[in-house]
A and B are shown apart, each in its own frame.
Chain A
């Protein structure tokens, strides 16, 4: 849209002039940056350390700050037995939910954005507003009645119950609408002259041209889906439907028993690996998508 979104990397810029820092001030910048990163990273590091040591090492404070040698043992225990349910099961559930939400949202919003941008039909603006208003209704706000609806459909403890209520947000539709608006009119006209009917134009031209947006949105939605907490907490009462993010809380014992920290921390690390991989590997795409879409 403006300002923030048209960010071009400044690589290949002319040599830093008088405005650039030099010498000691540059070092100071690096040092401050590293301190900042240390604070931001410390919780993750500590979790990793905890996932590689024994329960004894943790419960006799202070726990070590360097990794131990129980990495395989702890992760094997987490993955294949867990506390209530093997973490593998939760990982699979999370994966299905995150992928379902990401794909579902992308497909329905591509379709509806295409209809809104490229067609003139009765009730168009009404539909547009119906979609627009859903922006204002996060699941947390309508949580009880939505739960009742899902329960009424018998979708508790099911993947469809985990996925469907979360896939109709307007943000993706708006992102695609914005993007479609920037596709030159002549392209649609050229396609018409070339003999393409609307759906053919959609599949051959619009969707391939939206690749970058689709990929960026996929990253954002995958993380959105993966990181869901309240919704899976409510509708998955059976442990074998738990997702990993909400399942961790269930691993804490009620009462005064000591938590199985190495396994819990191994699970935390496992829970963050997929989204971190997605974010870091698709960094460029994701950042441009994020900065554009959130506007």
Chain B
């Protein structure tokens, strides 16, 4: 798409675009290039020199059982976060859509968690499930269930999933609600005249019409679970117990900053780059397709 009106000259547009290009170059492309470069080297233990090792860092990573476990953890984690954040959101959106009065009040209340940072969400949920003072864990104890996410891997995973999904419910709700409101009323009425009852209509008419939104949210939530949940993991479990909640992004951080293993960390970055690139392409393919609807 091109504008019919274009101004001429090159100096002015170059000046206009320069700040963004400069910042992109310094803080995006150079570091990304560095990551690729560093992934081909191993520094000696004192950090005085580095040795070119080709793809050895990658070979090592892919054979490393901790890294492979982290991949599996990430897959499980992001699947769960996506499901746990989307299903209740859709349910609430359907409820809100049925209401003529009060829907906007509910919406105002429901968007709060979106504004809460993942790290803060982590602190809130940690507080509720804290093994010593947590309200929820105390009541669970009264019911005879001994909650301890510090030691129990499943409970740790459950807690980080719920904490991560919590704020996303708001986000997904907004999109589902907007999409539901955009479903033409006449289509629903036609289905009603055809004799379809509410749930029948929902599954045969509304849900298919929501599929573009659903797919979009699917991709966006996976990206979120991959990259933006660092704060949750860091505040609640710090990747533990026994790396049970060490997702890929957390591992890059841990190996790079805590472990100072720059070669491996860089190789992990490169792998993540490929993952996020694929997801982005997927997202844009989809957006492009959507434009023709």
A/B: CB atoms within 8 Å of each other = yes
Interface of A with B (CB < 8 Å)?
A: 1-10, 13, 16-21, 26, 29-30, 32-33, 36-37, 40-44, 46-47, 50, 58-59, 61-63, 65, 107-109, 111-112, 114-122, 124, 127, 130-131, 134-138, 140-150, 164-165, 167-168, 173, 181, 185, 188-189, 192, 198-199, 223, 226-230, 233-234, 245-246, 248-249, 258, 261, 264-265, 268, 271-272, 275-276, 278-280, 283, 287, 290-291, 294-295
Contact residues in B for A3 (Cβ distance below 8 Å): 179, 182, 212-213, 290, 293
Find out whether the CB atom of B16 lies under 8 angstroms from the CB atom of A114: yes
Contact residues in A for B293 (Cβ distance below 8 Å): 2-3
- The interface residues of chain A, by DSSP majority, are classed as helix
Instruction: Given contacts A47-B123, A145-B266, A265-B127, list 12 more A-B pairs with CB under 8 A.
Output: A4-B178, A7-B178, A33-B92, A43-B121, A47-B127, A62-B138, A115-B13, A141-B273, A143-B253, A185-B5, A264-B123, A295-B287
Find out whether the CB atom of B115 lies under 8 angstroms from the CB atom of A278: yes
Closest to B111 in A: A279
CA distance A111 to B12 in the complex (A): 10
- Answer whether A121 and B10 are a contact pair too, CB < 8 Å, given A4-B175, A144-B266: yes
- Answer whether A116 and B24 are a contact pair too, CB < 8 Å, given A44-B113, A61-B138, A145-B266: no
Find out whether the CB atom of A18 lies under 8 angstroms from the CB atom of B182: no
Find out whether the CB atom of A115 lies under 8 angstroms from the CB atom of B17: yes
Find out whether the CB atom of A143 lies under 8 angstroms from the CB atom of B269: yes
Find out whether the CB atom of A112 lies under 8 angstroms from the CB atom of B17: yes
- Answer whether A121 and B118 are a contact pair too, CB < 8 Å, given A18-B189, A287-B178: no
Contact residues in B for A32 (Cβ distance below 8 Å): 95
B58-66, B74-82, B99-107: which lies at the interface: B99-107
Contact residues in A for B24 (Cβ distance below 8 Å): 130-131, 134, 168
CA distance A92 to B181 in the complex (A): 39
Which of A119, A150, A246 gathers most chain B CB within 10 Å? A119
Q: How far is the CB of A67 from chain B (nearest CB, A)?
A: 14
List B residues 71-120 near A (Cβ within 8 Å): 88, 91-92, 95-96, 98-100, 102, 106-120
10 sampled A-B residue pairs with Cβ under 8 A:
A10-B100, A46-B135, A50-B127, A62-B135, A118-B13, A121-B14, A145-B269, A229-B117, A261-B127, A287-B111
Find out whether the CB atom of B119 lies under 8 angstroms from the CB atom of A295: no
Find out whether the CB atom of A140 lies under 8 angstroms from the CB atom of B17: no
Find out whether the CB atom of A272 lies under 8 angstroms from the CB atom of B120: yes
Find out whether the CB atom of A119 lies under 8 angstroms from the CB atom of B7: yes
Q: How far is the CB of A150 from chain B (nearest CB, A)?
A: 8
Find out whether the CB atom of A1 lies under 8 angstroms from the CB atom of B9: no
- The interface residues of chain B, by DSSP majority, are classed as helix
Q: How far is the CB of A251 from chain B (nearest CB, A)?
A: 9
Find out whether the CB atom of B256 lies under 8 angstroms from the CB atom of A144: yes
Q: How far is the CB of B5 from chain A (nearest CB, A)?
A: 4
Find out whether the CB atom of A142 lies under 8 angstroms from the CB atom of B32: yes
CA distance A37 to B111 in the complex (A): 10
Find out whether the CB atom of B115 lies under 8 angstroms from the CB atom of A168: no
- Answer whether A127 and B21 are a contact pair too, CB < 8 Å, given A118-B5, A121-B13, A227-B118: yes
Contact residues in B for A17 (Cβ distance below 8 Å): 189
Contact residues in A for B220 (Cβ distance below 8 Å): 294
Mask of B142-163 contacts with A, CB within 8 angstroms, 1/0: 0000000000000000000000
Contact residues in A for B69 (Cβ distance below 8 Å): none
Q: How far is the CB of A37 from chain B (nearest CB, A)?
A: 5
Find out whether the CB atom of A280 lies under 8 angstroms from the CB atom of B111: yes
Find out whether the CB atom of A249 lies under 8 angstroms from the CB atom of B115: no
Which one, B10, B124, B213, contacts A268 given CB within 8 A?
B124
B26 at the interface (CB under 8 A from A): yes
Q: How far is the CB of B108 from chain A (nearest CB, A)?
A: 6
Q: How far is the CB of A62 from chain B (nearest CB, A)?
A: 5
Closest to B284 in A: A135
Contact residues in A for B26 (Cβ distance below 8 Å): 149
CA distance A43 to B116 in the complex (A): 11
